[in-house]
Amino acid sequence: MAGAAVRFVLDRLARRLHPVRHAWGHGLLAGASVPAQMLVWVLGISMAGQILLSQSDQAFAKDSLLAHGLGPIRDVGVILVVMWLLLRAVNRIQDNLLLRAREHGRELDPTAADAIGKLTKASIVITAILMMMQALGFSIAGLLAFGGMGGIAVGFAAQSLVANLLGGLTIFASRPFKVGEYIIIPGTELMGGVEHIGWRATRLIGFDCKPFYVPNAMFNTQPVINHTRMTSRRIMEDIHIRYADIDAVPAIVADVRAMLRAHPGVKHDFFAFNFSSCGTFSLKLSLYAFTVSTDYNDYMDTQEDVLLKIADIIRSHGARMTGPASTVEMPQLRAPAHPAGGPETGGTLPPMPPPLPSAGS
């Protein structure tokens, strides 16, 4: 009854507090309701055990295993319940802070919030383990000294694990990317949207909707392209026209530059359109520009519109776009000349060879 009453009171208090305006208080009370009920049970059982021992035979009470273990067991139970309470409170407070940022129109980095939450939970768990070991009679000082020597051996035995953990800490600290962004690792086929950043690996989702896991140690040695944080997209195309249209090139270049200068989808601080080279089969005009929008669909629409307008400008000047072509020159065929002294020139024909002898002669 006492545990249920404590849980009921804490739930009522939590409902009275708004999760946005009172993020910390609401998270603490909401996370403490169930563990507080369990804490009452632990304390009640320990008190019942002490009463039972006080009413039993004094010699039995002094020498029994229950008499020696009741105190440490109670302490361990209390530490476990408090650890559970704090872990639940951290989760609730983290959710409340994200909700508060969303309602106030601010963008709270979920990656940083997740990193802080994980570090806080790890600290709570490590502290609780050390306290439980001390309650059970272990020497923490000796354990820490042993851990210092054993840590070197463990470090050599688990180099990849330690490297991945350090890589995860580097991601949380420097934040080269966060959950929801699209990244590319040059030199590999790894690219996709970031779904989760763990302590050992980061989960990405590719274009084919298949998840794959990248060890965090790779991000310490490999460059990462954050595709989501680009400021604009690039249009880079080569346009070929005929050699016969060389006289129209200056007017075409001027009109295309004027079109780019007025186009709403192209950045006006820098763009280039020039006659760049004389190719083996055509004249090459080079386009280099950046779009205002980074959305892929907007980028494709802008690029399509720019290229179609360039084609219209080329046609308006009587020129034509072309591709690879070859020109073959054939020599003109002439009739064979008659030999000198032929009948046309009044000469005589050469003598005919004698006939071959027949088979019977």
- What domains sit in the chain, N to C, each tagged with a CATH number? 2-157 (no CATH), 176-229 (2.30.30.60), 234-316 (3.30.70.100)
| Helix, strand, coil percentages for the chain (3-state, nearest 5) | 55, 15, 30
Q: Are 112 and 172 in contact (CB under 8 A)?
A: yes
Phi-psi region of 121 (alpha: psi -120 to 50; beta: other; left: phi over 0): alpha
Alpha carbons 266 and 310: distance in angstroms, whole number:
14
Encode pLDDT of 154-207 as tens digits: 555 556 777 777 787 788 778 888 888 999 988 888 889 999 888 788 899 988
Residues 6+ apart with CB under 8 A from 271: 257, 260, 261, 288, 289, 290
pLDDT number for residue 149: 54
pLDDT number for residue 249: 94
pTM of the predicted model over 0.75: no
In our burial notation (b when 16+ CB lie closer than 10 A, e otherwise), range 63-73 reads eeeeeeebeeb
Question: End-to-end alpha-carbon separation of the chain, Å?
Answer: 147
Task: Return the axis-axis angle of helices 23-55 and 65-103, rounded to nearest 10°.
Answer: 170
Residues of the chain with pLDDT under 70: 1-3, 6-8, 11, 19-20, 49-70, 105-112, 139-159, 324-329, 333-361
User: Are β-strands 191-197 and 234-241 bridged in parallel, bridged antiparallel, or unpaired?
Assistant: unpaired
pLDDT number for residue 361: 46
